[in-house]
Structure 1
Amino acid sequence: MTGADLDTVLGKAVTILRAYRPEDHVLALAELVRRTGLHKATVHRLARDLVANRLLDRVDGGYRLSGGLFELGMLASLERSLLEVAMPFLQDLYERTHETVHLGVREGHDVVYVAKIGGHRQADAPSRTGGRNPLHCTAIGKVLLAHAPAEVQREVLAAPMVRRTAHTVVAPGILHNQLVRAAETGVAFEHEESALGIACVAAAVFGTGDEPVAAISVTGPTGRFRPEAQTATVLATAEALRSTIARREQLR
């Protein structure tokens, strides 16, 4: 499930850390054993080592993820440098739309959210900073997939696609047409495909090459938000961010 090598100590430790889900706060030892499939004594010993290295905290009721993981995550050079450059543009985009703004990157067949900005009336989107969603069911994922290598597109279109809602596009032919359209126009849309009640528009952010380094999106409730009306705004923000990234690359 995690892809970690259970024959190594490191693999078992990673399996324990990846047993946590976004909604989890504290997990009991017995629940960690159940989710990982590891022996109780192994989980107990590795959890103690993870606590000593500030990757887990020992609290009443079990273990929780520690702040040491956050510190390590913030050292990730690509995401950190990207976020530093992009944040002013994301804030400007939020001020112009007053809807939820995302910055995401492609990792395999998923989009990983590097940043999320939303105010008091933000959309109830199934996303969180550091979280991920399949490429096929989000606007930000689709626009990243539209500009991904042909091999990646073929893999996604050939694999079974999770149906998150009744509106999720799971037919390869329909998704392929959407990707072609996204590549032509520069934007992709979502209409209640990752969760009911939300709509989204996204644009790719290119670096110095042909593949995007990230994508940005604006998401809002279907009752008041029309993503098509924000197409020009999102495209302009993506282009401004691209220009800034290009200038920084030239100065290196």
Structure 2
Amino acid sequence: MVERVTLIMDVFEGRSSRLSLEEVSRCTRLPRSTAHRILDQLVRLGWLEHTALGYGLGRRALGFGGGDGAHSRIREAAAARLHQLQIRTGMVVHLAVLDGAEVHYLDKAGGRFAATVPSRVGGRAPAHSTALGKAMLAWLDPEDVETRAGGSITRLTPRTIADLSTLHQELNRIRRRHGLAFERGECFPDIACVATAVRGPEGPVAAISLVGDAWSPLEKVAPLVVDAARQVSLELFPGQEEGRAKASRRSGPAPEETWSAQTMDRLLTVGQYGDWQ
């Protein structure tokens, strides 16, 4: 029984993961009746919850990582947006925070492609090699970037940024793209990501990314990531929009918050070798 419970709990990849009975049965290879019986017991005991969207992690399961109230608040504010992104795109969605020179994955939502993405909730990766990390580093002072990443820039793949000068150039390009960060094969071969930061009054507090294979048309889903991060920012910092409105009245019209396909074409260009510029 313990082995079967473990099989079931392992298929839930994060706070926003939602699975049907059929999906749990298929992923665990347990008979449908057996999976249903165990799921029902786990719901009654608080390890899982059951809603119209399916089964998800319950209060007792989520409580195990729960020493950090700030991280719990970020996960709670982002959960619905991550789920919507995953359903709308069919891609893997990540939520992460910056911890020194690394990104710390707070949540992961994904469909069939999720098993091929070697990230996990609670796991870490070098910030300079991920779209998530670069999206957050772009909004820090250059001195802070060097303090965090200066001694830890290592090459994970042939495409990984391997020196501070190149990293600063990339972060400058991200700022010019209004915070959109891309990476193709920099952290893991054959995997590509687009990310943008969730920003508060004092800087980036987290980042959201969409993950696909190396040739995914990320420019088409980039506006969805931008909008999701903006909505999470408003959820976490409800007074921020009013502050931006006041600032725009003093300094002129604010830039567009959502982008048309034509605007995206102007913001994003593809280099000779498929690199995002």
Task: State the TM-score, normalized to the length of structure 1.
Answer: 0.66
- Picking from 127, 131, 143, the partner of 1:151 is 143
Aligned-residue RMSD, C-alpha: 2.2
Secondary structure of the 1:247 match is coil
Query: Aligned residue for 1:78?
Result: 70
Post-superposition Cα deviations, 1:128-169, rounded to whole Å, max 9, x if no partner, equal 100111110000011111112433212245325121111111
Query: Aligned residue for 1:134?
Result: 126
Percentage identity across paired residues of the two chains = 35
The question of 1:198 aligning with 2:194 is answered no
Counterpart mapping for 1:77-226 below 5 A: 77-122=69-114, 124-156=116-148, 158-185=150-177, 186-207=179-200, 209-223=201-215, 225-226=216-217
Supply the distance in 2 between the matched residues of 1:156 and 1:81 (Cα, whole angstroms): 24
Please identify, of 69-78 and 174-183, the stretch whose mean Cα deviation from structure 2 is larger: 69-78
CA distance change for structure 1 residues 194 and 173 in 2, over 3 Å: closer, same or farther? same
The question of 1:230 aligning with 2:221 is answered yes
Q: Which amino acid in 2 is paired with 1:199?
A: A
CA distance change for structure 1 residues 90 and 69 in 2, over 3 Å: closer, same or farther? closer
Cα offset for 1:72? 4.4
Q: Which runs of 4+ in 1 moved over 3 A?
A: 68-72
- Return 5+ residue gaps in structure 1 as ranges: 1-67
Paired residues in the alignment total 181
Supply the distance in 2 between the matched residues of 1:160 and 1:122 (Cα, whole angstroms): 28
Whether the 8 Å contact between 1:83 and 1:114 is mirrored in structure 2 is: yes
Post-superposition Cα deviations, 1:211-249, rounded to whole Å, max 9, x if no partner, equal 1111000001124x1222221111111111111222289
Please identify, of 107-116 and 163-172, the stretch whose mean Cα deviation from structure 2 is larger: 163-172
CA distance change for structure 1 residues 117 and 171 in 2, over 3 Å: closer, same or farther? same
CA distance change for structure 1 residues 116 and 248 in 2, over 3 Å: closer, same or farther? farther
Task: State the TM-score, normalized to the length of structure 2.
Answer: 0.60
